Amino acid sequence: MPDWKDFLPELICLGIDGIIVGTFYYGYRHAAYCVKELKEAPELPISTSLKKQIESHPLAQKIGDTIVLPYATIRGNVTPLGRTVASAYVPEIQNGVIQKVVFTEHKRNLSRTGFWVDTERVLHKYVNETPFFLTNPQGNSLSMSRPKIEVCDWADAAQIDLDTMVLWMSRKSLYEVHLPGATHHHLPQQSLLPYSSQKISIHDKFEAGPNTLGSHILGWVQGDLHKGTQITESMLLKDTTLTAVGQLVSSPLGIQIKPPTDNRPFFLVRNSISSLIKEYESGKDAFKGLLTFFALAGVIVSAVGIYRYYQKRKQELANTANQSTIDTIIADRESRQTRTDLPENLQCVVCLGAEREVIILPCGHVCVCATCGSELIRQGSGCPVCRATINSVHQAYVS
């Protein structure tokens, strides 16, 4: 049997391909699962009759005095329960309900391969939040009887859309601001915000490294160059319209939407439910295409390995048959009279002593004795005269 080490490249390729295919298959299954669940989730409007709709829904489950709808879709405006959260870096924004701030250090490090690569490291992060509801955007914001749905455990959402403001502290004193509905802008330290007439006010304890020749030389020697510190502030602002997909719970305390207990994905996104479904369908199609490509690549690699195995196995069987013929010739040698006065044209071209006994096919040369022919077959060598591949050998009768 062929040695498995002869197929090590194919086995390595198949192993890597199997990991890639498994990863893409998991992504495809997850995207298909999300599409299925999102399409089947009932979409309920936020209204005064919402509680009755939950209770009368065929999928609703009653647990004591609580009615649970395992998976449903609602859409409404973000409304804080009490005081809002203010931005730490843009004072004009004081009406958020979620604030996430991450401090990231950006560096350029010298890798072991001798190339400089950009790296980043999170220095610190914190989150501020206030309880919030989703309300009907067409209702009266001053009405106390306005229907509200409390959003619970937003941090467990598989996807949540936040407004992001990215502020850079670098040696050039540039700030990059990404605001809702605006493109990325590079603003000098004294520039104005795109939507405001007030200057940016930033107070932060992190500072860029010293911009000196010595620091640059030390960084190149150590293989560690400090580029700057990035502050990323993400907020969910008041009156943002969100689509929430999760578990609806109606109890005497009110109506809540929270992460499903059966591990179905929890969403808090700006897109409509149809746009969210299209987004996951696009992801599913992309995973399907990649899965098909790498699966075909695995089939091709497998076919190449099987073909090589067939060829090696075929060669082994041929070598076994040739060796059997050689053994028969050597065994018959004792019954034949050994000649001692061989002319040069009858001497084996390998050992130059024994009589030529074997004809090599397909080239047809009669040039070696049985012993040397056996060694040629064992080593996988070709004909010693023309170097042609030895497919088979037969006994030769030279007179």
pLDDT of residue 399: 65
Please report which confidence band the pLDDT of residue 4 belongs to, taking 50, 70 and 90 as the band edges: confident
pLDDT of residue 323: 83
pLDDT of residue 42: 94
How much is the pTM? Answer: 0.69
Q: What distance in Å separates the CA atoms of residue 115 and residue 119, rounded to the nearest whole number?
A: 12
pLDDT of residue 279: 94
Q: Which amino acid is at 304?
A: V
Task: Look at residue 131 and give its three-state secondary structure.
Answer: coil
Task: Look at residue 90 and give its three-state secondary structure.
Answer: coil
Please give the structure tokens belonging to residue 250.
């109606």
Please give the structure tokens belonging to residue 107.
């560096």
Using N-to-C axis directions, what is the helix angle for 273-333 and 370-379, rounded to 10°? 170
Q: For the chain, give the percent of residues with pLDDT over 90.
A: 41
CA dihedral 72, 77, 82, 84 (to 10 degrees): 120
pLDDT of residue 184: 36
Angstrom distances, CA of residue 26 to CA of 23, 30, 33, 222, 267? 5, 6, 10, 41, 20
User: Does residue 32 carry a pLDDT above 90?
Assistant: yes
Residue 72: strand pairing partners: 246
Instruction: Compute the mean pLDDT over every residue in the chain, rounded to the nearest whole number.
Output: 82
pLDDT (tens digit per residue) in 365-378: 999 988 898 888 88
Please report which confidence band the pLDDT of residue 190 belongs to, taking 50, 70 and 90 as the band edges: very low
Whether cis (ω within 30° of 0) applies to the bond prior to 45 is no
User: Does residue 196 carry a pLDDT above 50?
Assistant: no
Q: Which of 24-28, 181-185, 277-281, 394-398 comes out lowest in average pLDDT?
A: 181-185
Residue 256: strand pairing partners: 150, 249
SS percent in the chain: helix, strand, coil, step 5 = 35, 30, 35
Q: Which of 87-96, 144-153, 195-204, 264-273 comes out lowest in average pLDDT?
A: 195-204
**Residue 247 belongs to what H/E stretch?**
strand 241-251
Please report which confidence band the pLDDT of residue 210 belongs to, taking 50, 70 and 90 as the band edges: low
pLDDT of residue 312: 86
Q: For the chain, give the percent of residues with pLDDT over 70.
A: 84
Task: Look at residue 394 and give its three-state secondary structure.
Answer: strand
pLDDT (tens digit per residue) in 285-338: 999 999 999 999 999 999 999 999 998 888 888 888 888 888 888 888 777 666
Interval 248-271 mean pLDDT:
92
Q: What distance in Å separates the CA atoms of residue 68 and residue 152, rounded to the nearest whole number?
A: 14
pLDDT (tens digit per residue) in 39-90: 999 999 998 889 999 989 999 999 888 999 999 999 999 999 888 999 888 7
Nearest to 97 by CA among 150, 159, 157, 44: 150
Angstrom distances, CA of residue 85 to CA of 55, 110, 135, 319? 34, 41, 19, 82
Please report the domains of the chain, with CATH numbers, ordered by start residue.
Answer: 65-270 (no CATH), 336-395 (3.30.40.10)
pLDDT of residue 395: 86
Angstrom distances, CA of residue 67 to CA of 56, 64, 141, 250, 293? 10, 8, 27, 5, 47
| Three-state secondary structure readout of 20-32 | HHHHHHHHHHHHH
pLDDT (tens digit per residue) in 232-247: 889 999 999 999 999 9
Distance separating the N- and C-terminal Cα atoms of the chain: 39
Structural contact between residues 167 and 76, judged by C-beta atoms closer than 8 angstroms: no
Q: What distance in Å separates the CA atoms of residue 234 and residue 88, rounded to the nearest whole number?
A: 10
Residue scoring higher pLDDT (375 or 182) = 375
Task: Look at residue 108 and give its three-state secondary structure.
Answer: strand
Rg (Cα) of the chain, in Å, rounded?
39
